[in-house]
Amino acid sequence: MPDIAARLQRAKDWLPGGPFGVAGPPGAIQLRDVTAGYGDDPVLTHLNLELDRGEFAYLVGPSGVGKSTLLRILFGTLRPLSGEIAVDGISVHLLKSWQTARIRRRVGCVFQAYELLGHLSALDNVVLPLRMAHPKLRNPEAYATDALELVGLQDKTDVLPGHLSGGEQQRVAVARAIAHQPRVLLADEPTGNLDSDTSGEIMEIFKLLNQLGSTILMATHDEIMLSRYPARTVRLPQMVLEEAS
């Protein structure tokens, strides 16, 4: 397997050069006075956050503080109880259920529970959102293969998720999220099940995506990761903003 430096170098060739590369201004994230939760119990109250285009930020805080909830409302899987949300120019809080596909096709998301389709191979799991986002794209398998190679899974393209380890499934989820080169990438504990070396590789991939213009918001509780890859940090529940040191 080529090392991460070689894979990143190769990715620089295909990531911005694809037919749907991050041309144009990458997206921004804005939350204004957002209250969100489940049922009548708010988990997040009166939240304000602004991430500029092309910014990289961590979302940190103890378990149950609302990191995943915040990512869910940004991705449109949860409607806020009140407030306004804009992601990549789309008013997510106004989207009806049948309109959420719009934002899903423009924003990449790495889910904590991977959310892979068990009856599809790793390659097909990555190809699926590519087909949804770019129906006219010729040979999406090639881009999916590149994305899987980038996360170090070029030998597991035909393997079903059930036959992959937790860490490998997580890397498939990362490949799926970045394969369509999203303007905005949301990641919920994307290195949670990975060893430190593989976590480092994933962070290098995220850095590359960010350098190419993607806005990245990543939930984590890995303080070592924060110190190794410093970036702006949003601490929940107080919403304290810490600039990268």
Kindly list the residues in this chain that would bind another protein in the complex (CB under 8 A): 75-79, 97-98, 100-101, 103-105, 109, 111, 115-117, 128-129, 132-133, 176
Question: Rounded to the nearest whole angstrom, what is the least distance from the CB of residue 188 to another protein in the complex?
Answer: 12
Give dist(CA 238, CA 177) in Å, integer. 29
121: closest CA among 90, 150, 148, 92? Answer: 148
Q: Which is nearer to another protein, 97 or 139 (CB)?
A: 97
Q: Which is nearer to another protein, 104 or 235 (CB)?
A: 104
Q: Which is nearer to another protein, 171 or 176 (CB)?
A: 176
Question: Rounded to the nearest whole angstrom, what is the least distance from the CB of residue 231 to another protein in the complex?
Answer: 25
Question: Rounded to the nearest whole angstrom, what is the least distance from the CB of residue 47 to another protein in the complex?
Answer: 19
Q: Which is nearer to another protein, 48 or 99 (CB)?
A: 99
Q: Which is nearer to another protein, 32 or 79 (CB)?
A: 79
Q: Which is nearer to another protein, 42 or 129 (CB)?
A: 129
Return the bridge partners of 31, or none.
49, 85
Q: Is 48 exposed, middle or buried (0-12, 13-18, 19+ CB in 10 A)?
A: exposed
Are the beta carbons of 212 and 53 closer than 8 angstroms? no
Question: Rounded to the nearest whole angstrom, what is the least distance from the CB of residue 73 to another protein in the complex?
Answer: 11
Question: Rounded to the nearest whole angstrom, what is the least distance from the CB of residue 176 to another protein in the complex?
Answer: 7
Are the beta carbons of 75 and 186 closer than 8 angstroms? yes
Question: Rounded to the nearest whole angstrom, what is the least distance from the CB of residue 190 to another protein in the complex?
Answer: 15
